[in-house]
């Protein structure tokens, strides 16, 4: 039987509202050892901000980030997955769009994040990507 996204995803994603400061997202990423925060508007997914977004869209463009909100730097073109879909379908979309992770949503609300690392750990546990993904974060 094919595995479902919910069986492989990382549950309890880090979520912040659109008007949260970029610094707060960066602190959450640091504290949890993650590379992304899901952005919500009234509890519904509306974007994702990655560590790369913070560097390229915020830090590289502004001298002062103190007033910068997530809405200004997050990606709003979202590729998502359902917790009940086959993981292989989500992986195919990730490959098609050249992305490393997708938000997992149920009725518009974020419930997890599914990454290529999650897939590698389960599907090819002896691969280099699996080893890297399973290693503790560098802090």
Question: Looking at residue 106, what DSSP letter applies?
Answer: E
Look over the chain and give the mean of its residue pLDDT values, rounded to a whole number.
87
The answer to the question of residue 54 being in a domain is yes
Structural domain contains residue 41: yes
Residue found under tokens 């899901």: 38
The pTM for the full model equals 0.84
Q: What is the CATH number of the domain that holds 49?
A: 3.10.580.10
Residue 79 in any domain: the answer is: yes
Q: Note whether residue 51 is domain-resident.
A: yes
pLDDT at 1: 63
On whether residue 139 sits in a domain, the answer given is no
Beta carbons within 8 Å of 6's beta carbon, 6+ residues apart: 83, 84, 104, 111, 112
Is there a domain that residue 84 lies in?
yes
Sign of the CA dihedral with 34 first, then 39, 42, and 45 last: negative
For 7-16, the pLDDT digits (tens) are 999 999 999 9
pLDDT of residue 123: 55
Tell me: the pLDDT tens digits for 29-38?
999 999 999 9
Contact between residue 113 and residue 99 where contact means Cβ atoms under 8 Å apart? no
Residue 26 lies in a domain: yes
User: Which pLDDT value is given to residue 33?
Assistant: 92
Structural domain tally of the chain?
A: 1
- 83 lies in some domain: yes
* Pairwise pLDDT comparison (22 vs 138), residue with the higher score: 22
What range defines the domain where residue 23 resides? 5-134
């Amino acid at each position: 039987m094919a595995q479902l996204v919910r069986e492989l995803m990382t549950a309890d994603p880090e979520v912040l509202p659109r008007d949260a400061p970029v610094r707060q997202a960066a602190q959450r990423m640091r504290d949890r050892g993650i590379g992304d925060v899901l952005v919500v508007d009234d509890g519904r997914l509306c974007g994702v901000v990655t560590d790369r977004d913070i560097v390229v869209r915020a830090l590289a463009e502004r001298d002062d980030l103190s007033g910068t909100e997530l809405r200004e730097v997050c990606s709003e073109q979202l590729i998502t997955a359902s917790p009940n879909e086959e993981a292989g379908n989500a992986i195919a979309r990730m490959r098609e769009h050249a992305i490393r992770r997708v938000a997992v949503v149920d009725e518009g609300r974020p419930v997890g994040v599914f990454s290529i690392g999650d897939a590698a750990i389960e599907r090819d546990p002896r691969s280099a990507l699996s080893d890297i993904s399973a290693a503790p974060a560098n802090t």
